[in-house]
C-alpha cells in the first residue's frame, strides 16, 4: 500500500512542477501580449499621423500603452500568486523578484513609448 501512496505523491510532485513551469510560460505570454499592445500603439500613431486633430491618434495610441502596463502588472500579480501556492520539487521557479523586475522594466519602457508618441 505504501508503494501506491508513494507513486501518488510523486505524481502530485510532478504535477506541481509542471504547473510552476506552465505559470512561467503564461507569464511570458502575457508579457508578449503587453508588448503587442505597445506595437499596436506605435502602429496607430504611424498610420494616423496625418489625422487632424493630432491629439486624437496620440490619445488612442496611449490607451494601448495603458492597457500594456495593466497587462504587465496583472501578469506579475497572478504569476506571483500562483507561485506562492506551489511547492517546487524537481524544478527551480523564477523568483518573484525577477517577475517584479521584468514588470518594472516593461512599465518604464511603456511609459517612455507613450511619452515619445506625444512628442512625435
- Ranges of each domain in the chain: 2-119
Kindly state the percentage of the chain with pLDDT values over 70. 98
Check whether 108 has a pLDDT greater than 90: yes
- And the C-alpha cell for 91? 524544478
Of 3 and 80, the structure prediction assigns the larger pLDDT to 80
Q: How confident is the model at residue 1 (pLDDT cuts 50, 70, 90)?
A: low
pLDDT digits (tens, 9 = 90+) for 23-52: 999 999 999 999 999 999 999 988 988 888
Amino acid at each position: 500500500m505504501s508503494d501506491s501512496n508513494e507513486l501518488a505523491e510523486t505524481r502530485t510532485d510532478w504535477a506541481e512542477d509542471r504547473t510552476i513551469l506552465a505559470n512561467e510560460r503564461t507569464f511570458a505570454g502575457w508579457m508578449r501580449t503587453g508588448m503587442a499592445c505597445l506595437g499596436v500603439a506605435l502602429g496607430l500613431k504611424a498610420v494616423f499621423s496625418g489625422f487632424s486633430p493630432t491629439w486624437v491618434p496620440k490619445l488612442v495610441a496611449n490607451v494601448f500603452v495603458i492597457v500594456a502596463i495593466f497587462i504587465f502588472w496583472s501578469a506579475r500579480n497572478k504569476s506571483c500568486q500562483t507561485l506562492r501556492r506551489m511547492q517546487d520539487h524537481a524544478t527551480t521557479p523564477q523568483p518573484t523578484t525577477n517577475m517584479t523586475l521584468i514588470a518594472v522594466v516593461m512599465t518604464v519602457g511603456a511609459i517612455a513609448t507613450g511619452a515619445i508618441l506625444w512628442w512625435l
